Amino acid sequence: LQEPSLYTVKAVIILDNDGDRLFAKYYDDTYPSAKEQKAFEKNIFNKTHRTDSEIALLEGLTVVYKSSIDLYFYVIGSSHENELMLTAVLNCLFDSLSQMLR
């Protein structure tokens, strides 16, 4: 078992409907260079933009995501992370941005 930590989120990413980055914040060194980050984001988008599910396991990471019209919101955690916790972070981000942009 892993040691409990406050650092459950590895990244928060917002992509447009073409898979291009609008916002990305990485909280650890899983993908240290911008080139690796862009490749990871393209891979996530290609795997998730046509599906209706909300959770994916990709490259040893847990990815929860939500789409709205032409935006895709992603919260990434480790493979051992609780999906409900990551979904709560995603919903908070999504609801906050929706409220601000009304």
Task: Inform me whether the pLDDT recorded for 3 exceeds 70.
Answer: no
We find that the CATH architecture of domain 9-101 is 2-Layer Sandwich (3.30)
Residue-wise pLDDT for 49-77, tens only, equals 887 788 888 888 999 999 888 899 999 99
Mean of pLDDT values over 2-28: 86
Task: Inform me whether the pLDDT recorded for 1 exceeds 80.
Answer: no
For residue 4, the model assigns a pLDDT of: 63
> 10 and 76 in contact (C-beta within 8 Å)?
yes
Task: Inform me whether the pLDDT recorded for 6 exceeds 80.
Answer: no
Per-residue confidence band for 81, with pLDDT thresholds at 50, 70 and 90: confident
Pairing verdict, β 21-26 and 55-58? unpaired
**94 versus 6: which is more confidently predicted?**
94
Query: Who contacts 74 (Cβ-Cβ below 8 Å, separation ≥6)?
Result: 11, 12, 13, 14, 15, 44, 48, 63, 64, 65, 90
For residue 21, the model assigns a pLDDT of: 94
